[in-house]
Chain A
Amino acid sequence: MKRSYVGVLILAAILLMNIVFTQLVVHQYYYENYGVTLLYAGLNILLFPVALFVYKNEKNKGGSKGYEK
């Protein structure tokens, strides 16, 4: 019956990194560091499959009726 919040926490952390990377992309773009811009944009895109992976793995864990799985 115990809830599992690991997935929620990981996904929240991913979203935080998304926000940080997006901000860095925009700033580095205007600073004309185009290589760094690409790097952060790439990281931001990579976070999406990671998020999907975490979601797929965690969606059936825990819950108020975990024994029903």
Chain B
Amino acid sequence: MSDRNNKIPFDEDNYTHNINRNNERMLDRRGFMKTLAGAAGVFAVSTLPWGAVAAKELMGLGNKEYPNEKIADVKDVKVGDSVKFTFPTEHDSAILIRLSENKYVAYQNACTHLRCPVYWVKDEKEMICPCHHGKFDASTGAPTAGPPRRPLPGIEVEVKDGAIYAVRVKRYEA
């Protein structure tokens, strides 16, 4: 099917059809279908780890409990201020905001778009992600502007004896 363009037009000295390309750039219908099938294979393999982690998570179902962690003393956090901490492990950065006298909220502050750290802008009363200007509502964690679509995971906090503790990571309501 490929020699259609390789015919020497007439029998004289051949100056024009002397490059032999060996069809190296050919992509025919069959080759294209082969590529598509191969791509399906790549997709299949690449979803395996997600499935595996999800299965693992399903086995050890339920709320995982972590030891409560002290974030700060109440007297060090003024109303409208925020404190950075990490919870539940040292690799999960999080942020605590004191919204009013008795209202504390805390979120894991890896942006739900591409995981940049979200920070609290006191003057605008909003959590802002510097990377692509995602914004989150401080009292619920819900995204209000920009690329993020998923709320920030909330962290339950508790005030005991003048100190603020992180208790657990809230699960999303299904």
B54 to chain A, nearest CB (A): 4
CA distance A30 to B55 in the complex (A): 14
Query: Contact flags (1/0) for B26-44 with A, using CB distance below 8 Å?
Result: 0011101110110111011
* Interface residues in B, total, Cβ within 8 A: 31
Contact between chains at B36 and A12 (CB < 8 Å)? yes
Contact between chains at A58 and B33 (CB < 8 Å)? yes
Q: Return the contact of B172 from the options A11, A31, A50, A52 (Cβ within 8 A).
A: A31
A-side contacts of B30, CB under 8 Å: 59, 63
**B125 in contact (CB, < 8 A):** no
- Interface on chain B toward A: helix, strand, loop, or mixed SS? helix
CB closest chain-B residue, reference A12: B36
**B122 in contact (CB, < 8 A):** no
- Interface on chain A toward B: helix, strand, loop, or mixed SS? helix
**B47 in contact (CB, < 8 A):** yes
**B19 in contact (CB, < 8 A):** no
Please name 20 further chain A to chain B contacts, defined as beta carbons within 8 Å, in addition to the given A21-B43, A41-B47, sorted by A numbering. Answer: A8-B32, A11-B36, A15-B36, A15-B40, A22-B46, A29-B54, A31-B150, A32-B171, A33-B174, A34-B55, A34-B58, A41-B50, A41-B51, A44-B47, A47-B44, A48-B44, A55-B34, A55-B36, A59-B33, A59-B34
Q: Which residues of A are at the interface with B, using a C-beta cutoff of 8 A?
A: 3, 5, 7-8, 11-12, 14-15, 18-19, 21-22, 25-27, 29-35, 37-38, 40-42, 44-45, 47-48, 50-52, 54-55, 58-59, 62-65
